[in-house]
Chains A and B, each alone.
Chain A
Amino acid sequence: MAIHTRRSEDGRTLIISIDGRFDFSSHQSFRDAYEHGDQEVSDYVIDMSETTYLDSSALGMLLLLRDYAGGDAGRVRIENCNNDVRRILSISNFEQLFSIK
């Protein structure tokens, strides 16, 4: 598991990529990935193209990010999910809380 972050060109979007399993062991590094960002960031993108698996504590971490980004008003997109990841997100009906592509 590794977490990388980068910023969009205008600096307003923080893109967080997660490699491998996204589970409880990523807790601290995932929080670090967004909590030390600056005020300019208004949008968050979770890039799951390299994510192989997602467990329920990872869903909890996504909820934490959503809260951090402003709750219902926050803009968090989840992108490039493989089938396993998408299945877990859809069983939990997280598309009601996040925009999932």
Chain B
Amino acid sequence: MDEADKDAQPLRILIADDSESDRLILKTMVRRQGHEVMTAANGVEAVDSFRSFKPQIVLLDVMMPGMDGMEAARHIKALAGEELVPIIFLTSLSDADALARCLESGGDDFLSKPYNRIIIEAKINAFNRMRVMHRTLSKQRDLIRARNEQLVKEQTIARRVFDNVAHTGCLDAPNIRYHASPMSVFNGDVLFACPRPSGGMNILIGDFTGHGLPAAIGAMPLAEIFYGMTSKGFLIGDILREINLKLWRILPTDMFCCAAFLELDFHLGNLTFWNGGLPAGFLMRRDQDLLPLPSRHLPLGVVSGDRFSAEVDTVKVEEGDTILFVTDGVPEATNAHGDMFGEARLREVLDACDTDRSALEAVLAAIQSFTDTEQTRDDLTLVSVDVALSAVLDELPQRVAQSALGGPARWTCEYEVAGETLSQFNPLPLLLHICMEVPGLRRRSGEVYTILSELYTNALEHGVLKLPSSWKSSPEGFGHYYAERERRLRSAGKHDTVRFRLQHETGQKGGELRVSCSDSGEGFDYTDGALSSLENDGYAGRGLALLHQLCESLTHRGSGNEVEAVYCWSIDSR
């Protein structure tokens, strides 16, 4: 079309000249070249003809009575708007100033009288080429503009969907501070936080290769799995394996997600973490001792399930401790000289951090003053989590069931985990799921989970694995305890078992859940005050104290390897 336009198609050409003979000569020449011509005898007529005839090129005499050529040119250019309508002045002027004024008034070129057929033809063709090019560019620009608007509109909608998926958690909890600076509508960085049924929280901070839509697409299943599995009570290892497998399946080879996963158990004062590819995070203890939480694993989505390592580290945390993680946008923040902020500077800032200002604010301020006005190159995400043993999350809104007394009222369930399954499978989500069928218990999922989890942990760690809780009283022993737990779990034999028996009954105004948990271990002497001494001792004590608090009764049986907890709920309380 454009090609045809340029060469073969006849053009509509307007000729305005007050001399009738000149007009006729020019009209004849132009017609012979195959174009359609309209003529005008003065400026006013020329402008009128421009409106009705819509010429593509205008040949305009400079000197005309009434409205002269320059005035007419201004009108015509204004009428043409964005469209390029070349105006060629017909002139016998040779004064340079007068010629320059012609161009200033909107003219594109001159034709000198007397006319030369060859030059006229060449100029018309040249200006037509320019006109066509201008139109092509305008069209393409409009197209790009429209496409871009469409894209931005689509991204805004997608962003809303993304936010609904990604931000359903508890990032607004009072103990979490975070900063995220997106490079485009979507951020290559992700940050999720979700309360665990037992009262602690899981946090995931990640950095996908790339930005925008591709990164957001990977973030969606990541968020779904993270939130879904966390709120069902799955442990960090199961969630990580699931996420890795999913990302490995769906992402192209060169895309992956560097991430750190934090599992905080406020009751036990444990931080369990996994870091694959993020810069080392830090545990800032109240006594200023900075403990790095380094990356020991490949990022998520790089290797298949059988090569993936979900091995975690557990450290003890206390009220007042803060955990800080950043994405690589922080160490890689670059100043005007091309220097990077680096990990050493990050550490310096944290070392110098006092209590007046949060670590997160201190790091942000340091990056700001380091980079000055330089735009940050990468996504920049920081998160800090204060350890709040007083379980700040207990107040998270609980959904009240329509009819708490509905659902299965009287049921019994026995479940036994044995042998190597103990090291491969966590039965708690399944057991919690069964209990959650009762609407009255659903409102108390946190407490139910805590009871199940405390009983299971005691049975597994002290009963089956015979780990002495006294180890956990010192920081070294604490690490040793969890390392030994891993080691002994791997060698669990077929006679090693943990058995649950759940029994539920709904009454007039509430119900009663009996959970009995027995293990294949040797038990302990619970008759002569051993229990009370346990209660004063670090961890096992904390767990048992919690159970006593939550339950109506807690009874040890047999050789001490069987415990029954009775938990009552009513529709009035809470």
Interface residues in chain A, defined as those with a beta carbon under 8 Å from any beta carbon in chain B? 55-57, 59-61, 63-64, 67, 84, 87, 91-94, 96-97
Contacts and interface: CB of A to CB of B under 8 A. Distances in A.
A16 to B, nearest CB: 16
B207 A93 contact: no
Interface stretch (B63-71, B162-170, B254-262, B472-480): B254-262
B276 A57 contact: no
A87 B328 CA distance: 12
Contacts of A63: 253-254, 256, 302
Given A63-B253, A91-B295, A57 B209 contact: yes
Contact of A60 (B207, B254, B278, B378): B254
B298 A97 contact: yes
A97 B276 CA distance: 14
Interface string B259-290: 00000000000000000111110000000000
Contacts of B258: 56, 91-92
Contacts of A59: 209, 256
A57 B258 CA distance: 12
A60 B298 contact: no
Given A57-B254, A63-B254, 12 more contacts: A56-B258, A57-B210, A60-B253, A60-B255, A60-B256, A61-B254, A64-B253, A84-B340, A91-B258, A92-B276, A92-B295, A93-B297
B296 interface: yes
A97 B340 CA distance: 27
B299 A92 contact: yes
Given A56-B328, A57-B210, A59-B209, A93 B277 contact: yes
B298 A91 contact: no
A63 to B, nearest CB: 5
B279 A92 contact: no
Interface in B474-508: none
Contacts of A57: 209-210, 254
Contacts of B280: 91
B209 A94 contact: no
22 contacts: A55-B378, A56-B207, A56-B209, A56-B210, A56-B258, A57-B210, A57-B254, A59-B256, A60-B254, A60-B255, A61-B254, A63-B254, A63-B256, A64-B254, A87-B343, A91-B280, A91-B295, A91-B328, A92-B298, A93-B297, A93-B298, A93-B299
A94 B279 contact: no
Most buried by A among B207, B302, B343: B302
Contacts of B253: 60, 63-64, 67
Interface residues of B: mostly helix, strand, loop or mixed? loop
Most buried by B among A59, A87, A91: A91
Interface residues of A: mostly helix, strand, loop or mixed? helix
B256 to A, nearest CB: 7
A93 B280 CA distance: 12
A91 to B, nearest CB: 5
Contacts of A92: 258, 276-277, 295, 298-299
A91 B277 contact: yes
Contact of A93 (B209, B254, B295, B378): B295
Nearest to A72: B307
Contacts of B295: 91-93
B296 A93 contact: yes
Contacts of B209: 56-57, 59-60
A63 B303 CA distance: 10
Contact of B279 (A55, A64, A91): A91
Most buried by B among A57, A67, A93: A93
A53 B127 CA distance: 51
Given A60-B253, A67-B253, A91-B278, A97 B210 contact: no
A91 B209 CA distance: 14
Interface in B289-323: 295-299, 302-303
Most buried by A among B280, B296, B298: B298
A59 B295 CA distance: 16
Contacts of B256: 59-60, 63
Q: Which 7 A-B pairs have the closest CB atoms?
A: A60-B254, A92-B277, A56-B209, A64-B254, A93-B298, A60-B209, A91-B295
Contacts of B210: 56-57
B26 to A, nearest CB: 55
Most buried by B among A57, A60, A84, A94: A60
